Amino acid sequence: MLDIEHLSVRFGGASEAVSDISLSVGEKEKVVLVGETGSGKSVLLLAILQMLPASASVSGRALLDGTDLLTLSPREMNRIRGQRISYVPQGSGNGMNPLLSVGYQVGEPLMIHQNLSKKEALARAVAALRRFDFGQEEKLARQYPHTLSGGMRQRAMIAMGVAQGAPLLFADEPTKGLDGHRIELVVDAFRRLEDQAILCVTHDLRFAQEVAQQMAVLYASQQVEWCSKEAFFREPLHPYSQAMLAALPENGLQAETGFAPPREDSQLAGACRYYRRCPWKRSRCRENPPLFPVGDGRKVRCWNYGS
């Protein structure tokens, strides 16, 4: 339903924050984007929703059921946001307005897109909260965000994203700043969204393993691998994907060397962006590789898999 084609984002004269990313999200499909902080994951989501500041220039296409979202006017975009695509911001921050009750904020998209009265929207908001088994949902709806714990707030925001019933959900690091138990609650909340397609950004591999069907790995604003979750965790192809998995505790906690996040000066102009950190680098890698298809719809940006 969502096809992103050659999407790039540049802020002013700086280098690209998102560089030529292409991926697709099918009906009810769960796609997870992983990568280090600063790899351009969140910018990608905001670019598709046309929510970047005016200084950003976005190129490429983002087709939602055939309509290019990047060409829509702000007014037309207001009908897409919340109604066709809902967005779940990071919960550790200030994603909910501190002066409005949780119920009001969960029901707000319904008031706008379905012209429901405040009372009807509140009733639907309580129903949406109930889907996630908070307990005492009526009371929760009357509470203000600052009285909620981090995990509660994150789940309430997921409820806010799904209350409207948008077929596609964008989530920005839904587990950031949460402890293990609360992450489980968020995983549980995501698992209940069987009927919705999800495009989720995270740097939490374990969370990705729980919810993803399809994985995209981003490095230094470029997509370096695109594969199914099973393939990624069983047999990662790109050296960066392998390094990420090797850093997991069960795989020996081998920390990746080099700078994170990748900086301008840690890259060689025109070379593969992973060049400086790559254990397999050779002279060929002084030229940035394209995404090579390697079968089963899998793609890798590395000279070891094509030429």
Give the interface with another protein as residue ranges (CB under 8 A): 46, 49, 51, 74-75, 77-83, 86-87, 89-90, 93-100, 105, 108-109, 112-113, 144, 146-147, 157, 160, 164, 170
CB closer to another protein, 93 vs 258: 93
Q: How far is CA 153 from CA 113, 208, 216, 257, in A?
A: 23, 20, 27, 35
**Residue found by looking up tokens 């959900």 in the block:** 169
Provide, rounded to whole angstroms, the least separation between the CB of residue 81 and another protein: 4
- Cα–Cα distance, 292 to 307 (Å, whole number): 8
CB closer to another protein, 186 vs 231: 186
Provide, rounded to whole angstroms, the least separation between the CB of residue 24 and another protein: 21
Bridge-partner residues for 68, per DSSP?
Answer: 63
Provide, rounded to whole angstroms, the least separation between the CB of residue 267 and another protein: 29
CB closer to another protein, 105 vs 222: 105
Provide, rounded to whole angstroms, the least separation between the CB of residue 9 and another protein: 16
11, 55 Cβ separation under 8 angstroms: yes
By residue count, the chain amounts to 307
CB closer to another protein, 166 vs 244: 166
CB closer to another protein, 127 vs 247: 127
**Residue found by looking up tokens 């998209």 in the block:** 109
Provide, rounded to whole angstroms, the least separation between the CB of residue 115 and another protein: 13
CB closer to another protein, 81 vs 182: 81
User: Which is it for the CA torsion 231, 237, 241, 247, positive or negative?
Assistant: positive
CB closer to another protein, 100 vs 293: 100
What dihedral do alpha carbons 290, 219, 150, 94 form, nearest 10°? Answer: -90
- Cα–Cα distance, 88 to 260 (Å, whole number): 26
Phi, psi of 6 (to 5 degrees): 50, 45
Phi, psi of 42 (to 5 degrees): -70, -35
- Cα–Cα distance, 180 to 242 (Å, whole number): 24
What dihedral do alpha carbons 168, 227, 185, 153 form, nearest 10°? Answer: -50
CB closer to another protein, 164 vs 241: 164
Provide, rounded to whole angstroms, the least separation between the CB of residue 49 and another protein: 6
Show the tokens assigned to 281.
Answer: 């680098």
User: Which is it for the CA torsion 159, 163, 168, 172, positive or negative?
Assistant: negative
Show the tokens assigned to 16.
Answer: 């690209």
Provide, rounded to whole angstroms, the least separation between the CB of residue 207 and another protein: 20
Provide, rounded to whole angstroms, the least separation between the CB of residue 33 and another protein: 17
